[in-house]
Amino acid sequence: MQSQSEVRNSFRFLLFASALTVALWFLPLGDYLTYPIHLFVTLVHEIGHALGTLLTLGKVNRIALDWNGGGVTETVGGARLLISSAGYLSATLYGAGLLLLLRRARNARAVALGTAVMLLAATILFGGNIVAWSVGLTLGAGFLILGLKGSERLTHFLMSFLGVQSILNAFSDLRTLIYLAASEPGRLTDAQNMAKATDGFVPAIVWAIGWSLLSLLILSVTLMLYYRSLRPRESASTIQMPGLIVEPPSTGAHRGSAGRS
């Protein structure tokens, strides 16, 4: 169980990472600075599709990315509902998982190494074009070096920053999806794929809003758990149990209450 001081220190890292994220919004070159993170979140999105396919006994043919931040995962079989939903929700789940795991600074290196394994494995198994290979291998190697050679403090901060960025990018992509579903219903998206799978009974805009609400629920639960871990807990050693036997007062010596020094 993590200590209160450890969680508070991690929370300070999280606040600083969030402040840096907001600052980047106002910088003229902010989009260029966070461009690698956008490609990372796109790859996580596509890996989510791949995992959804494999979990429902489908086959993944390839994952392809393009330099403008788009991506596609070609699959055969599997449960279409889970596969399409897994893309947008995976980035939110990844970011939320980082926030909870990084309440303990000692987890930072393991998280970086786990991320490296995820990227490298997905690239080697399913990489389908030069962009996917370039992004997957470069970022995977970067996380591997960070997890093996980076200091705990640096790794903790960078992974916290990545967690915040992943969640914000996920919601930004969902906002774009809602816009496309409302203004360009003919454009091919995951939401449009689900609309076709239901023969138009559930329109694309409903899928887009539903995934957005589910992502918001995931984030809300994550923040609630984080907040609860920040609240001070009364130590068991300070809890006084009511006495069952009343002793007569003693003279000549003072006895401290049980559990206190």
Pick the most confident of 135-139, 174-178, 247-251.
Answer: 135-139
The H-assigned helical ranges of the chain are 4-26, 30-33, 35-55, 80-101, 108-126, 130-149, 152-183, 190-197, 204-230
Tokens standing for residue 206? 């409903």
169, 45 contact by CB (below 8 A): no
Type of residue found at 50 = A
CA separation for the pair 166, 234 (Å, rounded): 34
Choose from 73-82, 134-143, 196-205 the range with maximum mean pLDDT.
134-143
- Is 206's pLDDT higher than 50? yes
Total residues belonging to the chain: 261
208 touches 191 (CB < 8 A): yes
Task: Give the position of tokens 């992974």.
Answer: 159
- pLDDT the model gives residue 261: 39
What are the pLDDT digits (tens) for 23-47? 776 777 777 888 999 999 999 999 9
Tell how far CA 220 is from the center of its chain. Answer: 13
Cα–Cα distance for residue pair 86/92, rounded to 1 Å = 10
Identity of the highest mean pLDDT range in 121-125, 172-176, 246-250: 121-125
pLDDT of residue 46: 96
Specify the higher pLDDT residue, 173 or 33: 173
Give the pTM: 0.79
